[in-house]
Chain A
Amino acid sequence: MTDNFIETRLRKRYSAEKRFKIYSVSALILALLILATLISSIAISSIPAFTQINIGIDIKMNDDQILQFEEDPENVSWRSLQKKSFYSMFPDVETRKDKKELNKLLSTGAYIEIKKFYLDNPNKLSDNNIIYVPASDDVDLLIKDIIDRDLPQDMRTISDNQISYLDKLISNNRIKKTLSWRLFSNSDSREPELAGLKGGIVGTLLTMFVTLIISFPIGVLAAIYLEEIAPKNKFTDIIEVNINNLAAVPSIVYGLLGLAVFLNYMNMPRSAPLVGGIVLALMTLPVIIIATRAAMASIPPSIREAAYGVGASQMQVIVHHVFPLALPGILTGTIIGIARAAGETAPLLMIGMMAFIVDVPSKITDKATVLPAQIYMWANNPERSFEYLTSAAILILLVILIMMNLLAILLRKKYERRW
Chain B
Amino acid sequence: MLLGLSFVSYFYGKRLIRRRVYEQKISQHSRDSYHGLYLSLYLIIPSVILTLIWLASSPNIIDSLLKSKIKNSFPDLSLGEINILKSKVISAYDGILPVDSEQMEMLVNFYNSANIISTNFLIIISALVSVSFFLFALNRIRVRFNARSKVENILKFSMILASCVAIITTIGIVLSLIIETIEFFKIIKITDFLFGLQWSPQIALREDQVAGEGLFGAIPIFIGTILITLIAMFIAVPIGLLSAIYLSEYSKPKIRAIAKPMLEVLAGIPTVVYGFFAALTVAPLLRNSGASVGLSLSSESALAAGLVMGIMIIPLISSLSDDVINAVPQSLREGSAALGSTQSETVKLVILPAALPGIVSAILLALSRAIGETMIVVMAAGVAANLTFNPFESVTAVTVQIVVLLIGDQEFDSAKTLAAFALGFTLFIITLLLNVLSIYIVRKYREQYD
- Verify if A405 is at the interface (C-beta below 8 Å from B): yes
Closest A-chain residue to B408, C-beta based? A352
A376/B379 contact (C-beta < 8 A), A260-B180, A346-B271 known: yes
Bound-state Cα–Cα, A16 to B164, Å:
54
Which one of A32, A38, A250, A354 lies within 8 Å of B399 (CB-CB)? A250
A261 touches B172 (CB 8 A): yes
Bound-state Cα–Cα, A267 to B59, Å:
9
Bound-state Cα–Cα, A24 to B262, Å:
17
B427 touches A264 (CB 8 A): no
- Verify if A244 is at the interface (C-beta below 8 Å from B): yes
A252 touches B162 (CB 8 A): no
Which one of B314, B375, B435 lies within 8 Å of A376 (CB-CB)? B375
Bound-state Cα–Cα, A286 to B173, Å:
15
Of the stretches B5-13, B72-80, B236-244, B286-294, the one at the interface is: B236-244
CB distance from B170 to the nearest CB of A (A): 5
CB distance from A178 to the nearest CB of B (A): 26
B272 touches A27 (CB 8 A): no
Per-residue A-contact encoding for B262-275, CB less than 8 Å = 1, 0 else: 11111011111111
Q: Report the interface size for chain B: residues with CB under 8 A from the other chain.
A: 95
B238 touches A253 (CB 8 A): no
A222 touches B270 (CB 8 A): no
Per-residue B-contact encoding for A361-383, CB less than 8 Å = 1, 0 else: 00000000000100110011000
Bound-state Cα–Cα, A201 to B260, Å:
30
Which one of A219, A229, A248, A266 lies within 8 Å of B431 (CB-CB)? A248
- Verify if B300 is at the interface (C-beta below 8 Å from A): no
Bound-state Cα–Cα, A315 to B156, Å:
8
CB distance from B355 to the nearest CB of A (A): 15
A243 touches B271 (CB 8 A): no
Name the interface residues of B163-184: CB closer than 8 Å to any CB of A: 163-167, 169-170, 172-173, 176-177, 179-180
Per-residue B-contact encoding for A284-321, CB less than 8 Å = 1, 0 else: 01100100000000000000000000000111000100
Name the interface residues of B246-285: CB closer than 8 Å to any CB of A: 246-247, 249-251, 259, 261-266, 268-277, 279-281
B176 touches A225 (CB 8 A): no
A28 touches B247 (CB 8 A): yes
Query: Chain A interface: which size bin?
Result: 35 or more
Closest B-chain residue to A342, C-beta based? B270
Bound-state Cα–Cα, A42 to B372, Å:
25
B243 touches A397 (CB 8 A): no
A394 touches B424 (CB 8 A): no
Bound-state Cα–Cα, A34 to B282, Å:
11
A267/B60 contact (C-beta < 8 A), A248-B368, A343-B271 known: yes
Q: Within 8 Å CB of A142, what residues of B? A: none
A24/B428 contact (C-beta < 8 A), A343-B272, A346-B375 known: no
A27/B246 contact (C-beta < 8 A), A41-B281, A246-B169, A260-B180 known: yes
CB distance from A261 to the nearest CB of B (A): 5
CB distance from A307 to the nearest CB of B (A): 14
Name the interface residues of A236-271: CB closer than 8 Å to any CB of B: 238-239, 242-246, 248-254, 256-257, 259-261, 264-267
- Verify if A143 is at the interface (C-beta below 8 Å from B): no
CB distance from A238 to the nearest CB of B (A): 7
Q: Within 8 Å CB of A31, what residues of B? A: 239-240, 243, 263, 266, 314-315, 318
Which one of A289, A313, A376 lies within 8 Å of B166 (CB-CB)? A289
CB distance from A172 to the nearest CB of B (A): 37
Which one of B160, B279, B432 lies within 8 Å of A225 (CB-CB)? B160
- Verify if B155 is at the interface (C-beta below 8 Å from A): yes
Q: Within 8 Å CB of A286, what residues of B? A: 166
Which one of B148, B161, B177, B273 lies within 8 Å of A398 (CB-CB)? B273
CB distance from B305 to the nearest CB of A (A): 14
Closest B-chain residue to A318, C-beta based? B155
A28 touches B420 (CB 8 A): no
- Verify if B415 is at the interface (C-beta below 8 Å from A): no
Which one of B159, B262, B347 lies within 8 Å of A222 (CB-CB)? B159
- Verify if A176 is at the interface (C-beta below 8 Å from B): no
Closest A-chain residue to B149, C-beta based? A313
- Verify if A112 is at the interface (C-beta below 8 Å from B): no
Q: Within 8 Å CB of B271, what residues of A? A: 343-346
| 24 A-B interface contacts by CB (under 8 A) | A21-B344, A24-B242, A27-B243, A27-B246, A30-B239, A35-B263, A218-B165, A225-B159, A245-B170, A245-B432, A253-B177, A253-B428, A256-B173, A256-B420, A256-B421, A260-B180, A265-B176, A282-B165, A286-B166, A343-B270, A345-B271, A375-B273, A379-B275, A405-B264
Seed contacts A21-B344, A350-B406; 4 additional CB < 8 Å A-B pairs: A222-B165, A243-B166, A256-B424, A398-B269
